[in-house]
A and B are shown apart, each in its own frame.
Chain A
Amino acid sequence: MKSLSLYNRTSTLGGIYFLLLVNRTQMHYFILIMPTFLVHSYMVWGIIVMGLLSQLNLMMLSKWFTSRYAAKGYQGFVQLFGKRTVQIFAILGFLILLPKISIITLGYVEMLHSFIYPSMNKNWLILMILLISLFVASHGMEKTLRFVVIAFLGGVWIVIMFIPFFFPPIANYRDLYPLIPTEWSEQSWRGLLFIWSALSGPVYLAFMVPWLSSNKKIMKYLVIGNMLSIMEYSFLFIASVLFYGSHYLSKINFPLVYMGSYIQTGGLERIDYILISFHMFTYVFDISILLLCFYGAGRIFMRKMNEQTTRIGLLSSWFVILISIIFMNHWLWQTVPGQKMLLNIQIWIGAFLYLLVPTILFTAVKRKESM
């Protein structure tokens, strides 16, 4: 059997990659449904507060990025926690990644299905998207990380298309009132949790340090990347409040995509098709990275770290994901309670991970250093 070197590295990627990675891992499926969760215009303060907390979190992570353990990859983790614990972590990671990949894929496919291919069998869409991700992932970790540049350039301009929504007659600025929270319910807490979970993407960067440069200056890039996401979040959210008004907004499943379909130019109508297609770059990047993480976690808990990566290994992890998604779609996603449950699971897992991973790594490094 021919071997496949997925995790080789020839050079390390510079600081600017951190910026792009942080930003793109925060801009996938959750941004599409965020306005429906936040609804009231004052939740924009929630985005800002959560964004600032996320900055603190990233600062903690940057301590890890610059530590000498991180650069060593797997060996670094073993030095910190011991072989046994790392294996347990890997199993946990394996179990956490599977629903994460599945749920964001299902979410994205649902959008594709409801806007572009309403009469297509969803399994085909799932298969096609995963095939693209497999193709990207099969080029190895380094190239996939480099793919973030394409994902960023493909996705970031979409925000510009939403500028017209800030001007009358489409926008009615009185819809933004009241500006401060006048009542605070369980729904608002859920909104905050949702934002936190949406910002949790960069957690996975903690395991990719060997491919990234670990010089001291990366903190700046992490912070700018996160700021960019906060700006995109609040921009898109305010645009959707202006467009729908709070009362109508809570009833729409994909507010931003519907707004895309409202944009009309002289030559082109239904620009949403183009926007959805370009958003796919971000999405494919995310899934490919997670797929490689997934395979990596599998290798660790199967104790195959010292062997070469194989094509069969990657393909079988891909198949596990494919089958998991198809079953989840079949059993859970297609019913409303099932979909809500999956989404809640994802929100909670994301939020917990973003809280725990940086803290654990930070304290572990600190403890080791003081010893």
Chain B
Amino acid sequence: MVPYKHYSLLAIACLMWMAGCSSPYVENNMIEEIAPVVFWSVDKGTEGKFKISTLVPPLIQEKKRLLTKEVDLLKQGGKEFNLIYNRELKQGQLRMVLINEELAKKGDIEKLVNTILVDPDISMRVYLLIVRGNFDEYINNQLTKQENQDYFLYRMLKHYEDHNQGEMSIVNIHQFMKKLYSPLEDPILPVFQSDKNNFNYVGTAFFRKDKEVMFIQNVEDEIFQLLGNDHFLKVLAIPKLSVSLGRVRSDVRMKLSRDYSSLSLHVGLNGRIEEYQGEKEIQSEEQLQHVIQEIEGYLEEQTSDLLKRMQRLKVDPLEVGTHSLKPFSKEITEKQWLKYWGNMKINVDYDIKIQPLNNVERLM
């Protein structure tokens, strides 16, 4: 009896097939014929258009080239690339979207990000980067120097993302969107500087809604990594005091006053001195304490300045606003929070505990 059942199922399937329904599959994913691209780079074009570019073919041993198109819509770009290139471009392996800083400062990158987000082929783990300068020029120049440079860039981002080791702010689409929609947090994105020969991380951009309003770099960026993003820094170099701290872990405690008029920010830092080029004899306990106090003072000053700028521009990438959430009361609105945030008094207090130079000399 069982085979009979199978026949009937088969018959129905064949019938439907022959009835002339359109073929179920319309996508051709034959691996030899497609080019799964690794990145999109989006730049400002002429007359309000986008200039988008990508590198093909990504991983195959074949002469590589950079495709660039000026288009009105992002998706149009992908389509037009197919027409000028012999392989079909697929977005399934897309790993990075690089957005030019001018676009980010103009705002409206939410629409760009949404376009990427709604594509079912693309994972939510795609990294978002802000680029200063001309990325196309860089990647074009690298074609001859370094093979698969686009893939290596992705590996680099992934390397620093995996364990949050505080070198860079790495952000993927999901994290960006979550913060964008949350009323008490503001999104951040990493900024990379690019010219003909170099492509390097410079700092972090802060966004109000989807518009870049603030940029930090160097010590400020390091402080930001300690306060908000990673809570760890491999090296905290302070050239002004001729000292480098290594393996710094931070323990941040924020306390908002009941009426949101003041914030006390307590940062405990744990690390060790790994380099000292200054004049003081840090082998002695007394002098060491002095250096530590200097570092504390310096960081407190820098942090206060950083926070003041954030307040002035009304951005809250440190998610201070989420500290106003309480288990048993209603959350405050974004408008209310920004009003409080702009006028808040902030007390910054650093507490640094460090090991002295090891292995060099004992503490007296």
Contacts and interface: CB of A to CB of B under 8 A. Distances in A.
Interface of A: 2, 4, 114-115, 117-121, 123-124, 127, 131, 134-135, 138, 169, 172, 174-175, 177-180, 182-183, 243-245, 247-248, 251, 258, 261-262, 264, 269-270, 311, 315
15 contacts: A120-B24, A123-B21, A124-B21, A135-B5, A175-B322, A177-B327, A177-B331, A178-B326, A178-B327, A183-B330, A248-B177, A248-B182, A258-B124, A269-B123, A270-B123
B323 to A, nearest CB: 7
A270 B124 CA distance: 10
Contacts of A115: 120
Interface in B109-128: 120-121, 123-125
Interface stretch (B8-16, B98-106, B338-346): B8-16
Contacts of B120: 114-115, 118
A131 B329 contact: no
B182 A311 contact: no
Nearest to A113: B120
B353 to A, nearest CB: 23
B123 A178 contact: no
Nearest to B323: A174
A2 B322 contact: no
Contacts of A175: 322
Contact of A174 (B27, B178, B325, B329): B325
A262 B174 contact: yes
Contacts of A117: 24
Contacts of B183: 247
A164 B93 CA distance: 23
A251 B164 CA distance: 28
A244 B178 contact: yes
A261 B326 contact: no
Contact of A315 (B4, B8, B326, B331): B8
A127 B9 CA distance: 11
Contacts of A121: 21-22, 24
B328 A179 contact: yes
Given A114-B120, A262-B125, A174 B327 contact: no
Given A121-B24, A262-B124, A264-B125, A174 B181 contact: no
A106 B30 CA distance: 30
Nearest to B321: A174
Nearest to B4: A2
B1 interface: yes
Contact of B328 (A127, A134, A180, A247): A180
A245 B183 CA distance: 10
B124 A261 contact: yes
List 3 A-B pairs, minimum CB-CB distance, nearest first.
A177-B325, A182-B330, A248-B181
Contacts of B12: 131
Interface string B73-117: 000000000000000000000000000000000000000000000
Given A118-B120, A248-B182, A178 B27 contact: no
A120 B21 CA distance: 12
B18 interface: no
B5 A138 contact: yes
A247 B185 CA distance: 11
A124 B21 CA distance: 9
Contacts of A258: 124
Given A138-B5, A179-B327, A180-B327, A124 B24 contact: yes
Contacts of A245: 178, 181-182
A38 B212 CA distance: 33
Contacts of B322: 172, 174-175
A56 B309 CA distance: 58
A306 B120 CA distance: 51
B290 to A, nearest CB: 36
A264 B328 CA distance: 35
A211 to B, nearest CB: 20
Interface in B1-49: 1, 4-5, 8-9, 12-13, 16, 21-22, 24-27
Highest count of chain A CB atoms <10 Å: which of B120, B328, B330: B120
Contacts of B178: 243-245, 248
Contacts of B326: 177-178
Contacts of B125: 262, 264
Contact of B26 (A4, A120, A127, A243): A120
A287 B253 CA distance: 53
A262 B124 CA distance: 6
Contacts of A178: 325-331
Contacts of B25: 120
A163 to B, nearest CB: 18
A147 to B, nearest CB: 15
Contacts of B327: 177-180
A174 B184 CA distance: 11
A143 B27 CA distance: 38
Interface string B141-183: 0000000000000000000000010000000001001100111
A41 to B, nearest CB: 10
A118 B24 CA distance: 11
Nearest to B330: A182
A176 B199 CA distance: 40
A118 B327 CA distance: 41
A4 B5 CA distance: 10
Given A124-B24, A262-B124, A2 B1 contact: yes
Given A248-B182, A261-B124, A311 B13 contact: no
A182 B329 contact: yes
Given A119-B26, A247-B181, A261-B123, 17 more contacts: A120-B26, A121-B21, A121-B22, A135-B5, A135-B9, A174-B322, A177-B331, A178-B330, A179-B327, A243-B178, A247-B182, A261-B124, A262-B123, A269-B123, A311-B5, A311-B8, A315-B8
A261 B5 CA distance: 37
B16 A127 contact: yes
A153 B341 CA distance: 51
A184 B353 CA distance: 48
A248 B173 CA distance: 13
A117 B24 CA distance: 9
A169 B162 CA distance: 11
Contacts of B24: 117, 120-121, 124
Nearest to A264: B125
Contacts of B328: 178-180
Contacts of B174: 262
Contacts of B5: 135, 138, 311
A119 B27 contact: yes
A179 B181 CA distance: 20
